[in-house]
Structure 1
Amino acid sequence: MSVGHRISRRAIVAAALALSCGRAAATVPKRPATLDWAILETLLALGHPPVAATELIQFREIAVEPPVPASVADLGLRGLPNLETLLFARPDIIFNSNFYAGLESRLKAIAPVESFSLYKPGVAPWEPMVAMTRAIAARLGDAGAGEALIAGTEGEFARLRARLGVVDRPVLPINLGDARHFRAFGFDSMIGEAISRLGLANAWSVDTSYSATAPVGIEVLAQHPQAWIVVIGPTPPDVERVLERSAFWRALPAVAAGRVLWLGPVNPFGALPSARRFAGLLTQALDEARDKARG
């Protein structure tokens, strides 16, 4: 076999490898879509906004951040998305969650589907959130963005934990459904994980179902006289005003002692961005309350 022939074969092999790499690169999706808010906020934080997602008006009001570009098509309700709008958005991959598994067969008719399960009763969601972040970033060909998001979130928690120092009371995280009922968040919730990673104790130790227990009568708050009551928004209109007139509410030990923290809205079923947002809001509220007590 001549040298020229050997060189020719090497060239052919190199060309084949280059073609193979080109095809692999071409399979990296560039137009993701999702029905799930935890995935939506992760895509936004990674710098890969989806072409379509659900309930964007509510997302902007409840999750708040990261901001959603105007280019993202609104598919309507998470449980009943407009599949025609999704089709017109031309996604090349749809990231789904176990919350919307019933729609998976219909979604697959539009684009390939990859699913994640963050929230399961009795399972702490931090590692699933980290794993999902890595998986989505890698699937989009941007593993570095995933590692940066994870490292940035862990670094922010370390900074907030140092800022808080020792907090000698547990916190009781709740979301008010109305003036008489709330849902509470245990260790298997994003809220519970954030509390633990801030070095705080969660006063709610009762088993939860899909990360929250609801509805719980407001009288149960009397069982936690030493805790900070942390009210996580959104709060229904007029609830705070009704509670201010309630003799029972005012008589609760935590309320009477001024240990109620009213936080802005947070997506309780979010991923790393929501965990970071909640941690920041809670740290700021505790700092301000302690400063007020000292002053």
Structure 2
Amino acid sequence: MSLCSVLLLSSCRSSDATSPSPASETQTNLTSPHSKQTPPKVMTPDWGIAATLIAMGYPPVAMGDKPFYREWVGKPLIPATTYDVGTRYQPNPEMFSQLDLDVVIDNSFYKHLQPMYGDLPIHSIELTSSSKIATWEDFIEPTLALGRAIDQPQAAQTYLDESKNQIIQAGQTFHKRYPHVKKLAVVQFADTNNLRMFSYNSLFQPALDAMGLELIAFDDGNQWGFMPIMLGDLAQLDEDTCLVVVEPIGDLLKVELEASLVWQRLGYSFDANPNAANKNRCLTLLPATWNNSGVASMNVLADRLMNATLVGNTDL
């Protein structure tokens, strides 16, 4: 399943039935410890922008695909006060028209929606890297631009500074727990035979770099930072590379993988016994970590790796 399929996944599903109705509930203004100024009321169709705003302390008033954010992004958690306007790629115009908004923040993927916004100011911000090898510096200006878009430039700078320190500290903790693990390959399963491997232009690269770890990939990534691979391609990984599998991955898929002769020959197992005499290859399963949320995703990735349980051989 391609990332485009994921992005359009919920276009045929209903919006969050538990979200409050904009017409029947008064929206309270959000304030931040960084400024006494009331921030503008923001709507964004994009998960990455929503995640970064939440992490900075200024959640959007409304966003798209709120229920599926929980499955594919997870953290930071969405406040209950944030309205769900339907699918990201095609929000509900009637619901949108009832919102009291000051600004829309999107990116180029949602350009087709801009006529729906009428006279509202629009800021398009890309929380991705255009470099062949992504660096921390690639994400500084987009994050600062997001801060300027909500009239909170200092909050954005503070968030960047604190995030970099947290990611470095997470790396230090990881190395204390697993001193021999230096190289990680990060993948996500579409099915038992098709995966996406995150590459050097993804945000996993600068996050792992700040943690003092090395990202391993087979080739350059596409515009979303990954390359499609087959299950058997994992045989190209060196024995000293630990495989990081990013959820969601269903229980049935795990069972099918454990029964797969290819998976068995590769030497991986989700149920590996860390005390077994003949250990399987190093593997860990991480909760959903979105690849398009900029620094917010880097923070989540670092925190989850810091607390991850690696199974198999960690004496690489």
TM-score, normalised by the number of residues in structure 2 = 0.76
Matching residue within 136, 140, 157 for 2:146: 136
How many residue pairs get aligned? The number is 265
Partner of 2:104: 94
CA distance in 2, matches of 1:122, 1:105: 33
C-alpha contact 1:263 1:285 (8 A) present in aligned 2? yes
Matching residue within 54, 67, 70 for 2:77: 67
| 2:225 matches 1:212 | yes
Identity value in percent: 23
Moved more, 33-42 or 124-133: 124-133
Matching residue within 175, 185, 199 for 2:188: 175
Partner of 1:114: 123
Q: Secondary structure at the match of 1:95?
A: strand
Shift in Å at residue 214 of structure 1?
4.4
The AA in structure 2 aligned to 1:241 is V
Matching residue within 56, 63, 67 for 2:66: 56
Q: Secondary structure at the match of 2:229?
A: strand
Give 1 or 2 for the bigger CA radius of gyration: 1
Structure 2 unaligned segments of length 5 or more: list them. Answer: 1-36, 270-278
Q: Secondary structure at the match of 1:225?
A: coil
CA distance in 1, matches of 2:234, 2:218: 13
C-alpha contact 1:225 1:254 (8 A) present in aligned 2? no
Partner of 1:193: 206
CA distance in 2, matches of 1:122, 1:102: 27
Partner of 1:235: 249
C-alpha contact 2:180 2:314 (8 A) present in aligned 1? no
Partner of 1:279: 302
CA distance in 2, matches of 1:214, 1:83: 35
The AA in structure 2 aligned to 1:248 is V
CA distance in 1, matches of 2:59, 2:127: 20
The AA in structure 2 aligned to 1:41 is A
Partner of 1:19: none
Q: Secondary structure at the match of 1:67?
A: coil
CA distance in 2, matches of 1:247, 1:147: 50
CA distance in 1, matches of 2:314, 2:197: 26
CA distance in 1, matches of 2:314, 2:229: 30
Q: Secondary structure at the match of 2:245?
A: strand
CA distance in 1, matches of 2:194, 2:38: 47
C-alpha contact 1:183 1:213 (8 A) present in aligned 2? yes
| 2:90 matches 1:80 | yes
Q: Whose helix fraction is larger, Structure 1's or Structure 2's?
A: 1
CA distance in 2, matches of 1:63, 1:209: 20
Q: Secondary structure at the match of 1:182?
A: strand
C-alpha contact 2:185 2:244 (8 A) present in aligned 1? yes
Moved more, 233-242 or 127-136: 127-136
Q: Secondary structure at the match of 1:285?
A: coil
Partner of 1:156: 166
Partner of 1:33: 43
Q: Secondary structure at the match of 1:229?
A: strand
CA distance in 1, matches of 2:50, 2:265: 41
Partner of 1:258: 281
Structure 1 unaligned segments of length 5 or more: list them. Answer: 1-26
Q: Deviations over 1:143-165 (max 9, x none)?
A: 23212211111111111222233
